Amino acid sequence: MNPIETPKQYSDYVDKKSPNSPIIKNCLIAFLIGGLICSIGQIIFDFCKYKGMEETPSNTVVSIVLIGIAAFLTGLNIFNKIGKIAGAGSLVPITGFANSIVSPAIEYKSEGYIMGVGGKMFTVAGPVLVFGISTSVIIGIICVLFNCS
Amino acid sequence: MDFIQSIDWMQMLRCFIVGGIICIIGQILIDKTKLTPARILVVFVTAGAILGGLGIYKYIIDFAGCGATVPLTGFGANLAKGAIEETQNSGLLGAFIGGVKSSAGGIAAAVFFGYLASLISKPKMKKQ
């Protein structure tokens, strides 16, 4: 085999060697699991509405419950098994956010409860919050400047 | 059971389909690009915030309910919606307060349950 000299050659080589992911099957599973998680959210939402709650707090309850379930399932090492099959189906819903907090926290537990668990839990969630909150601040500023309200 | 009867099944179907489609977009990004899952989370939240800021995302929420609010795009849209609404009450200050205020429940739950769940679990032993 010829030696690999350029990054282009290397990336061609990797593409050739890596297995083709069955994208249709992956998408179907992601669709089903993702839809299922959203439907669970909808049931919680409907239940809050049924108990006479307003729309906005109901949405918050849905987030809190789903995050709580996902966090503990990750802690019990069940969620990662679901995630391996479901791919984006469990990553894209808010459950993926909870999973992204707990997974690194468990991994770095040996580094202690403050800097290990407390620090590393934001390895993935940190960027999500940074970009999400920053975007919302920019949108708010634009809103004030152009008097959109 | 009154509650079961009160469920709107058409709404549930729309929620399932839209939520599923948003996840398919994520799956295509995973399979077709070299984005890591962490970056995909960032992309989804940011995209949701921009769509929310442009006022497009609320139509998806009206249509699909939790099918739009449960995916991370909904989290982003909620941040943007909070920022915009709060600017009406407190002007420029609202741009800084609103986003986090509207998603405070989710963020606090993620931090609290995340920490708690990490405490109760044992790290997986690597097989030698």
Owning domain of residue A61: 21-121
Residue B77 touches partner A, C-beta closer than 8 Å: no
Classify residue A52: in a domain, yes or no.
yes
- Structure confidence at residue B115 as a pLDDT band (50, 70, 90): very high
Domain boundaries, chain B: 2-120
User: What pLDDT, in 10s, does the model give residues B50-66?
Assistant: 999 999 999 999 999 99
Q: What is the DSSP string of chain B?
A: -HHHHH--HHHHHHHHHHHHHHHHHHHHHHHHS---HHHHHHHHHHHHHHHHHTT-HHHHHHHHTHHHHSBHHHHHHHHHHHHHHHHHHHTHHHHHHHHHHHTHHHHHHHHHHHHHHHHHSPPPPPP-
Residue B7 touches partner A, C-beta closer than 8 Å: yes
Classify residue A110: in a domain, yes or no.
yes
**Closest CA of chain B from A7, distance in Å:** 15
Total domain count, chain A: 1
Contacts of A139 in chain B (CB under 8 A): 49-50, 52-53, 80, 83-84, 95
- Structure confidence at residue B114 as a pLDDT band (50, 70, 90): very high
Residue B93 touches partner A, C-beta closer than 8 Å: no
Classify residue A9: in a domain, yes or no.
no
- Structure confidence at residue B128 as a pLDDT band (50, 70, 90): very low
Q: What number is the ipTM of this complex?
A: 0.91
